[in-house]
């Protein structure tokens, strides 16, 4: 196998592997005379950290000239032509192949964090059952006033709201966390992403 071709394939696949990177390539290709950092940033609405991350992953596909404008390299142009060739001439008949197909975005960190969420959920349910039993026993014994049931209900509601928020946050942030961890691991291993 040709290691140079494998390396170029890897660079192209890495560049096309995320929607934001594909959008960066498209923006640069459509800009006459290249695109500036602020033009790309404004078009995509990314924060600078995320933008810099994606530009690092596009090394080899884009370059910045002396005027500080981004242009496509020959490999970048090839990547863009691959991207265009994937969707050109798609006529009717492809819809049946797409039914039920979804892009899986579960990553290692998302799976791990989801498992921990279920551990936290099980622990929270167990703790609420124990706390309910404890408060009920204390009320019957006369050690706590009956208003304690209301405090318990409020606390249970708070726990439910916090767990729902945690679940939403995990779904939203796990992809970003995975990208961050991947970039750290690559730096530790001395790999250029």
* The three-state (H, E, C) secondary structure of the chain, written as one string: CCHHHHHHHHHHHHHHCCHHHHHHHHHHHHCCCCEEHHHHHHHHCCCHHHHHHHHHHCECCEEECCCCEEEECHHHHHHHHHHHHHHCCCCCCCHHHHCCCCCCCCCHHHHHHHHHHHHHHHHHHHHHHHHHHHHHHHHHHCCCCCCHHHHHHHHHHHHHHHHHHHHHHHHHHHHHHHHHHHHHHHHHHCCCC
Q: Are strands 62-64 and 35-36 parallel, antiparallel or unpaired?
A: unpaired
Which of the four pLDDT bands, split at 50, 70 and 90, describes residue 96? low
Which of the four pLDDT bands, split at 50, 70 and 90, describes residue 1? low
Please tell me the number of Cα atoms within 13 Å of 79 on its side-chain side. Answer: 29
Model pLDDT, residue 74: 92
Phi, psi of 36, rounded to the nearest 5 degrees = -80, 165
For 57-86, give one letter per residue: b (16+ CB within 10 A) or e.
bbebbbeeeeeebbbbeebbeebbeebeee
Least confident of 4-8, 72-76, 123-127, 151-155: 4-8
Say which residue, 145 or 102, is predicted with more confidence: 145
Phi, psi of 116, rounded to the nearest 5 degrees = -65, -35
Which of the four pLDDT bands, split at 50, 70 and 90, describes residue 83? confident
Rounded to an integer, the average pLDDT of 174-178 is: 70
Model pLDDT, residue 193: 45
Count Cβ atoms below 10 Å from residue 46 Cβ, excluding itself: 17
Match 């059952």 to its residue by tokens. 129
All structural domains of the chain, each given as residue ranges with its CATH number in brackets, are 7-89 (1.10.10.10), 108-189 (no CATH)
Model pLDDT, residue 102: 52
Phi, psi of 158, rounded to the nearest 5 degrees = -60, -45
């Amino acid at each position: 196998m040709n290691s140079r071709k494998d390396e170029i394939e890897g660079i192209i696949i890495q560049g096309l592997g995320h929607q934001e990177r594909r959008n960066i390539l498209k923006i640069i290709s459509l800009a006459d005379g290249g695109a500036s950092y602020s033009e790309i940033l404004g078009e995509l609405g990314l924060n600078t950290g995320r933008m810099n991350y994606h530009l690092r992953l596009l090394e080899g596909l884009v370059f910045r000239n002396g005027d500080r404008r981004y242009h496509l390299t020959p490999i970048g142009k090839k990547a863009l032509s691959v991207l265009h060739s994937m969707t050109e001439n798609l006529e009717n008949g492809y819809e049946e192949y797409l039914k039920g197909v979804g892009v899986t975005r579960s990553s290692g960190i998302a799976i791990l964090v989801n498992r921990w969420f279920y551990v936290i959920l099980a622990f929270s349910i167990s703790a609420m059952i124990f706390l309910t039993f404890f408060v009920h026993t204390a009320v019957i014994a006369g050690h706590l006033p009956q208003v304690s049931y209301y405090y318990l209900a409020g606390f249970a509601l708070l726990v439910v709201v916090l767990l729902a928020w945690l679940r939403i946050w995990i779904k939203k942030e796990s992809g970003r966390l995975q990208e961050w961890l991947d970039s750290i691991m690559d730096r530790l291993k001395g790999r250029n992403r």
